[in-house]
Amino acid sequence: MSGYEKPSWGWGYCAPSPVLLLSLLTAAPLGLLGEETRQVSLKVISNWPDFSQNLLHIQAVGTNSTLHYVWSSLGPPAVLLVAANTPNSTLSVNWSLLLSSDPDGGLMVLPKESIQFSSALVFTRLFEFDSTNMSDAASRPPGKSYPPYSLANFSWNNITDSLDPATLSATFRGHPVHDPTGAFANGSLTFRVQAFSTSGRPAQPPRLLHSADTCQLEVALAGVSPRGNRSLFGLEVATLGPGPGCPSMQELHSIDDEYAPAVFQLDQLLWGSLPSGFMQWRPVAFSQKQGSRESAMPCQSSPLYPTLAYLLPQSPVVRAFFKTQNNFCAFNLTFGASTGPGYWDQHYLSWSMLLGVGTPPVDALSPLILGIMAVALGAPALMLLAGGLFLLLGHKRYSEYQSIN
C-alpha cells in the first residue's frame, strides 16, 4: 500500500498550497470491461493563506484512464468533469489567474492531449414556487414564483472540516451572503459529494447503482424558512454542450422498482454518444432524512434549452478550463407537487444524482427475485416432468409384468 502525494504547484509567485491528502487504495483492478475499480484520492486545494476559497479535487485513477472531478464553490457551485486516457494525468491550478477577472488558463489537466472528454455542470439558481391553489401537478411553472436565490451570491464553508476519508465524501454547506429575510438563519443548502472506488449501491434511498467511473452528488435543503405555506423548490442546472447542440435527456422506463419503491423511471443526461459523460438520477426527492416511500415526492425536469452565458451566474472554474466556450444549456428541476409529501413536512428536501464518464450503470434484477422466480416457476415444471416420467415408467413396468404372466 503506498500513498499518492501530488501537491499542486502554482505558477508565477503563487506559493505551494497546503494540501490535505486522502487516498484509498483498492485491490488490484481486475477490470474486464471498463474500469471495475479505481484508486480514488480526495484533495482540498486551497489558496493559502486564504482558506475561504477552496476546490475539491477528486482523482480516480484506473489502469489506463484517469477521471478528474473538480468541485468548486467559487461563484455558483460547479463541477468540472475531465476524463483522460492515461493514469498519469495531473491537475494544475493557478490561483492568481483563477481569481483574476480573466481566469482563462487558471485550471489545466495535463497532458492536454490525453483529455478524451471534458464538460461541466453549474448549479446556478434555487427557485421557490407557491403551489397553493395549483391542482395540476405537471404544469410549468408549478405556481407563482418567488424571486430565486442566485447561488453565485452564497458563501460556503471550509470543506476541509467536512472531509470524510472513510466514505470518500465531502460536504459543501452554503447560505446567502445577504439574507435580509433571514430565511437561511437556521438552515443551509448542502452539496454532499461522494466518490467511489468500486461499484456498489448505497443503503440510502434512492439507492442509485454506482460504478468506479461515477461519483454521487446529494443536494439537500434543510432548515430554510419557506416564503409560503406550500412552497415547492427547484434547482436550475447549466451544462456545457458537447458541440453546438445540447446534451440529450432520456427517460428510461423499467419494470424494476426494487431499490426505489414505486419509482419506475431513471432520468439520464448524455453528453454525446457513448462512451461520454453522463448524469443520472431518479425523478424522486425525499422530504425526510431517512428517505422512505412515505416521504417520496416527484421530481420534474424541464427539457434542456440552450441559453446564453451572460444570462447565467458565471463560474470561474468553468471559464478557466473552457476558455471562451459559451454553448451553455440549462434545465430546471422541480421538487414536489402541491399535494402529498413536501418540503413543508419537516423543512427538509434531498435529491441525489450520479455524475460519471463511460457507460451509465444499469439496474438489473436482484438475485433474490431471480431465485424466487426460479423456484416458483421452475420447481412445478420439474415436478411435473418427474411425476410424468415416473408414471410412464411405472405404467411400462406394470404392463411388462402383465405380459409375462
Closest distance of CB 135 from other proteins, Å: 9
Nearer to other proteins, 102 or 294 (CB): 294
Nearer to other proteins, 324 or 405 (CB): 405
Using the rule CB under 8 A, is 261 a contact of other proteins?
yes
> 13 or 398, CB closer to other proteins?
398
Query: Which of 27, 255, 367, 403 forms a contact with other proteins (CB under 8 A)?
Result: 255
User: Which residue type occupies 344?
Assistant: W
Closest separation in Å from C-beta 8 to other proteins: 45
For residue 257, state whether it binds other proteins (rule: CB under 8 A). Answer: yes
Q: Which of 56, 235, 260, 299 binds other proteins (CB under 8 A)?
A: 260
Q: Does 376 bind other proteins (CB under 8 A)?
A: yes
Binding of other proteins at residue 305 (CB under 8 A)? no
Q: Which is nearer to other proteins, 274 or 383 (CB)?
A: 383
Site for other proteins (CB under 8 A): how many residues?
Answer: 37
Among 110, 248, 258, 323, interactor with other proteins by CB under 8 A: 258
**DSSP 3-state assignment of 297?**
strand
* Bridge partners, residue 137, by sequence: none
Q: Is residue 372 close enough to count as binding other proteins by CB under 8 A?
A: yes
Q: What one-letter code names the amino acid at 146?
A: Y
Contacts of 280 (CB under 8 A, 6+ apart): 208, 214, 266, 267, 268, 269, 353, 354, 355, 356, 360, 361
Q: Is 393 in the site for other proteins (CB under 8 A)?
A: yes
CA count, 13 A, side-chain hemisphere, 77 = 28
- Dmax over CA atoms of the chain, in Å, equals 111
> What gap in Å lies between CA 1 and CA 60, rounded to an integer?
16
Give the Cα separation of 239 and 107 in Å (integer): 18
Q: End-to-end distance of the chain based on CA atoms, in angstroms?
A: 81
**C-beta of 254: minimal distance to other proteins in Å?**
8
DSSP letters, 79-140, are EEEEEESSTT-EEEE-HHHHTSS--TTSEEEESGGGEEEEEEEEEEEEEEEE-TT---TT-S
Minimum gap (Å) between residue 394 Cβ and other proteins: 4
Taking CB under 8 A as the criterion, the residue among 149, 253, 279, 291 binding other proteins is 253
Q: Tell which positions 320-339 bind other proteins, by CB under 8 A.
A: 339
Q: Where are the beta strands (DSSP E) in 245-347?
A: 248-253, 265-270, 276-281, 284-286, 296-301, 305-307, 328-335
Binding region for other proteins (CB under 8 A): 253, 255-264, 292-294, 339-340, 365, 369, 372-373, 375-377, 379-380, 383-384, 386-387, 390-391, 393-394, 397-398, 401, 405
